[in-house]
């Protein structure tokens, strides 16, 4: 895809790459976001976190990592907030982890899941498209974006074919990221992650 390489080059997390780099992390209070933010700080990055809810038990709060970053309070569905944060803090790299990530919640509340996972992603990408200083964008997708595949194990070449609410939300967000790369040349990389687990996980239904 056009201009995707800068995002891919940055994923090595080398300190020379991240030192003093202005990074926006969405979903920073989640399991992955909390640890990623800490790692970025260790690499001397200048981190800005988009935070919607105050989650006292989050690893981000518990480890006092939140005190070491710039916090922008807002929702990923609010494009004006995202665009202001990117412009005001001169963001060069965007790591988009904000999502409704629980399958059971998605089944019970599909609309709110679609709002966060789909609309939130296109809002973020549109804000990036309108912000020429953004050099690289990483979108956290899921292996659920593949849906139920007849041939296992699936590969990255498998079609995105979600059928259930959470799966569909990830298929859509993934494809929106790809169309922004193809059509507008946005420097986007997509990661399709499996189940995460580890310290600070507040989802007690996690499959391990």
Model confidence at 161: pLDDT above 50: yes
pLDDT for the residue numbered 204: 67
Active site residue 146: no
Of 93-97, 141-145, 202-206, give the lowest mean pLDDT range: 202-206
Look up residue 183 and give its two tokens.
């059509």
Distance CA 24, CA 71 (A): 10
In order of 76, 121, 175, the CA distances from 144 in angstroms are 21, 16, 13
**Whole-angstrom Cα distance, residue 83 to residue 147?**
32
| 203: confidence class by pLDDT, cuts 50, 70, 90 | confident
pLDDT at residue 3, rounded to an integer: 39
The better pLDDT of the pair 99, 150 is held by: 99
- More confident of the two residues 202 and 95: 95
User: Higher confidence at residue 94 or residue 9?
Assistant: 94
What is the reported pTM?
Answer: 0.88
Q: Catalytic residue among 89, 146, 154, 166, which?
A: 166
Tokens 């569909």 sit on residue: 168
pLDDT digits (tens, 9 = 90+) for 6-16: 443 445 556 68
- What are the C-alpha distances in Å from 43 to residues 12, 59, 103, 129? 11, 18, 33, 27
**Cα–chain center distance at 4:** 16
pLDDT classification of 184: cutoffs 50, 70, 90:
very high
Q: Tens of pLDDT along 19-52? A: 999 999 999 999 999 999 999 999 999 999 999 9
């Amino acid at each position: 895809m056009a201009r995707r390489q800068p995002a891919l080059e940055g994923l090595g997390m080398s300190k020379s790459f991240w030192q003093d780099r202005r990074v926006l992390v969405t979903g920073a209070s989640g399991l992955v976001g909390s640890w990623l933010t800490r790692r970025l700080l260790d690499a001397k990055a200048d981190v800005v976190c988009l935070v919607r809810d105050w989650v006292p038990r989050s690893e981000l709060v518990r480890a006092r990592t939140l005190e070491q970053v710039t916090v922008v309070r807002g929702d990923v569905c609010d494009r004006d907030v995202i665009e202001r944060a990117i412009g005001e803090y001169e963001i060069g790299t965007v790591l988009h982890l904000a999502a409704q990530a629980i399958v059971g919640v998605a089944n019970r509340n599909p609309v709110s899941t679609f709002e966060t996972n789909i609309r939130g992603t296109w809002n973020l990408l549109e804000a990036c498209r309108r912000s020429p200083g953004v050099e690289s964008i990483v979108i956290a997708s899921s292996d659920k974006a593949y849906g139920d595949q007849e041939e296992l194990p699936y590969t990255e070449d498998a079609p995105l074919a979600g059928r259930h609410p959470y799966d569909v939300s990830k298929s859509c967000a993934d494809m929106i990221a790809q169309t922004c790369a193809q059509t507008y040349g946005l420097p986007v990389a997509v990661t399709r992650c499996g189940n995460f687990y580890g310290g600070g996980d507040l989802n007690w239904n996690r499959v391990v």
